Structure 1
């Protein structure tokens, strides 16, 4: 057989046979992607040349059938069925039948849009949000219990404590975070002083700007700004690190090796946060007071000596301690939210990005809520 005859024998072919109400299309050759144009053309001929009630596609002489050929033939069968004809395959080999089943043609129908009231949709979304917030609170409390249990295990077995990891995390959280926190706190102190002087000068009460800066920075803004910056900087890093380890199944590998991921990954990070955030709060408060003092000197003609003496008179130890007491609790909240979101990451980059964003948003929100609760508590006990 010549090359031309061999090629002709491989081309897809169709022979139509009629017998009463039955029409049989005997297929032969290679129904493959190599002959895609011819396969489509023959399939159209089969669909057009069918005026009876029962149509059979006979595959007994088909030498090769690939995904394209199987899909086109199954599509043709569906088109015939859509015109009221009973179309079936016949004499397909087991391999061909498996391929036909796998590539079964499915029409794409538009989903019927159910009309809802906008008010109902709004209430449904609100209900889902409240339900999700409730689940987050329950998950956070449960995770806090696991964290406390793991911490007790570490205390009772000191050899399991990973001091090197804590020091490393302290360097990342506290030491490397000092420049940006000092800069932002200094600028915020300058802004508070400038705006305070601008308002108080109308009443001839410019010196009271020192009281304003000292109380506002030490009680509220120092710890609040630091917590927000740590939530955005270190909290997102915790979520990304733990989430990427979850994606690469490194956390499962730790469990296989007999190690507790909470002891290895989470306790060092949360301990470093609880230690580092009060230190950063102190540094941020000093930077903000320095910025306020410099602005008061330049803009309000309040010398550094007067500023410091009035600051000592306006600020007591309790004012300083309020900000420091808040810091460990805010650090704990940031650490729990960041690590919990990291452990919730699924196996995709989209999931990682979504949980990192959620971690920062939730941590900042909870920091502000916690600050408000502390403000009410300290006001109630007159501290």
Structure 2
């Protein structure tokens, strides 16, 4: 039973259906230049297989390319989705490899029906929860690798890359001072201005010093600095390591017998742990300076009165609270940034997605960690 196309073209693809035997013999060229006959023959196979299981004999195929293999696998998928069964016989090794690759690359069938918005929301929420758990486990495992790498470096000081550490400290701390000091100065002035406008209703505008002193030294100084470092240095770490992953430089380090954790991660995380407390201290001073200037302009408070009130309102342990938080926040930012960098695949889209995820996750975890520290210090009355 040859089609009209097959009779006109001796190279056309065809499917010879043998009645009563459940077998279909394929002949001709199942290639791109015979696409119409390939589609027609595949349709006849699908129609015959809808009634009973079919064995497709590939021994008569003269040539098979990607298009022919994909059409056969598409027909096979449609038949199996409808409850039928189709199998191959007399396939050469080359044909089996090509059919296997076409099966792996076959597009997934669209969903059978549209689900409601509530169902989709709950499903997306569940996926995020499960993904958050996986990210937490991955972060703990990666932290363990970093700790082991630090121990190895400490046991072999000669292998430590001091130049890389100094370079990263310059990038994280020194180069970040201007923008962080400027933003902190402006935020301190804004907080002081709003505090004066609200407290002067009660004749207590002098208490704005207590407000900005405690708020900046305990919370805002380290929080603002950590958020800016996450957006500035954390994203840079993810982009740098992700670019190295795309160019297979990380694999090259492993081939040379070097540990990427020791070479790439340890200097960056140590630079964050060292640099973030320094930036926090400078940011707090800048914010207090901005608050003092605003108190002088809007509240009529002299610098001497501001400093005297600040000295009475705050003590050393308030400064220590912000500085204690800083290394932990730096560690969180460094771990998340480097994990996202190692997760980058071979495309620019993947790089952009993981850089965005690095910044979002770092800022979220910094805020969560700050809340946990606030609860802890309140519990111990510190």
Which range, TM-score by smaller chain? 0.7 to 0.9
Structure 2 equivalent of residue 4 of structure 1: none
Is the Cα contact below 8 Å between 1:189 and 1:291 reproduced in 2?
yes
Q: In the aligned structure 2, how far is the partner of 1:108 from the partner of 1:125?
A: 20
Structure 1 residues 67 and 157 mapped into 2: Cα distance closer, same or farther (>3 Å)? closer
Identify if the C-alpha distance between structure 1 residues 257 and 67 changes in structure 2 by more than 3 Å, giving closer, same or farther: closer
Equivalent position of 2:356 in the other structure: 357
Residue correspondence of structure 1 range 142-221 to structure 2 within 5 A? 142-221=141-220
Tell me if the contact between 2:164 and 2:267 (Cα under 8 Å) persists in the aligned partners.
yes
Superposition deviation, residue 257 in structure 1:
1.0
Q: Secondary structure at the match of 2:257?
A: coil
Residue 238, structure 1, aligned to residue 234, structure 2? no
Question: Per-residue displacement from partner, 1:23-55 (whole Å, max 9, x unpaired)?
Answer: xxxxxx999988999999xxxxxxxxxxxxxxx
Matched residue, 1:112? 112
* Structure 1 runs (4+) greater than 6 angstroms displaced: 9-12, 29-40, 62-75, 94-104, 106-109
Aligned position for 2:89:
none
- Aligned residues of 2:213 and 2:313 also touching (Cα < 8 A): yes
Structure 1, 289-298 or 243-252: larger mean CA deviation = 243-252
Give the C-alpha shift of residue 233 in structure 1: 0.8
Distance 1:66 1:126 in 2: 43
Rounded Cα–Cα distance in structure 2 between residues aligned with 1:326 and 1:95: 63
Q: Corresponding residue for 1:225?
A: 224
Structure 1 pair 113–294 and aligned structure 2 pair: CA distance change class (3 A): same
Match of 2:315 in 1: 316
Q: Which residue of 2 aligns with 1:19?
A: none
Describe the superposition over 1:241-282 as per-residue Cα deviations: whole angstroms up to 9, x where unpaired: 112212222112111111111111101000000000001001
Per-residue deviation, residues 173-223 of structure 1 (Å, max 9, x unmatched): 011111110111011011001100000110111111111111111111000
**2: CA distance between counterparts of 1:291 and 1:184?**
10
Partner Cα distance (1:131, 1:107) in 2: 26
Aligned to 2:337: 338
Contact 2:70–2:99 (CA under 8 A) maintained in structure 1? no
Scaled by the length of structure 1, the TM-score of the pair is 0.75
Q: 1:148 offset after TM fit, Å?
A: 1.2
Does the 8 Å CA contact 1:65/1:96 hold for their aligned counterparts? no
Decide which structure has the larger Cα Rg and report it: 1
Q: 2-side partners of 1:220 and 1:377: how far apart?
A: 13
Q: 1:72–1:130: structure 2 CA closer, same or farther, 3 Å change rule? A: closer
Q: 1:347 offset after TM fit, Å?
A: 2.4
- In the aligned structure 1, how far is the partner of 2:130 from the partner of 2:63? 56
Greater shift, 201-210 or 137-146, is seen at 137-146
Name stretches of at least 5 consecutive residues in structure 1 with no aligned partner.
Answer: 1-8, 13-28, 41-61, 76-93
- 140-149 or 160-169, larger mean C-alpha shift: 140-149
Report the CA distance shift for 1:69/1:168 in structure 2 as closer, same or farther (over 3 A): closer
**Inter-CA distance 269–71: structure 2 relative to 1 (3 Å threshold):** closer
Instruction: For 1:96-111, list aligned pairs within 5 A.
Output: 111=111
User: Residue 128 of structure 1 aligns with which residue?
Assistant: 127
Cα separation, 2, equivalents of 1:199 and 1:244: 50
TM-score normalised to the size of structure 2? Answer: 0.75
Q: Residues of 2 paired with 1:376 and 1:99: CA distance?
A: 61
Q: State the number of aligned residues.
A: 370
Structure 1 residues 101 and 232, CA gap change in structure 2 (3 angstroms): closer
Judging changes above 3 Å, is the alpha-carbon distance between structure 1 residues 97 and 360 closer, same or farther for their aligned structure 2 residues? closer
Aligned to 1:347: 346
Change (3 A) 1:204 1:266: same
Contact 1:235 1:338 in 2 (8 A): yes
Secondary structure of 1:259's aligned partner: coil
For structure 2, the residue ranges without an aligned partner over 5 or more in a row are 1-8, 13-27, 40-60, 75-91
Q: For residues 65 and 183 of structure 1, do their structure 2 counterparts lie closer, same or farther at Cα, with a shift above 3 Å needed? A: same
Distance 1:340 1:211 in 2: 40
Distance 1:225 1:278 in 2: 12
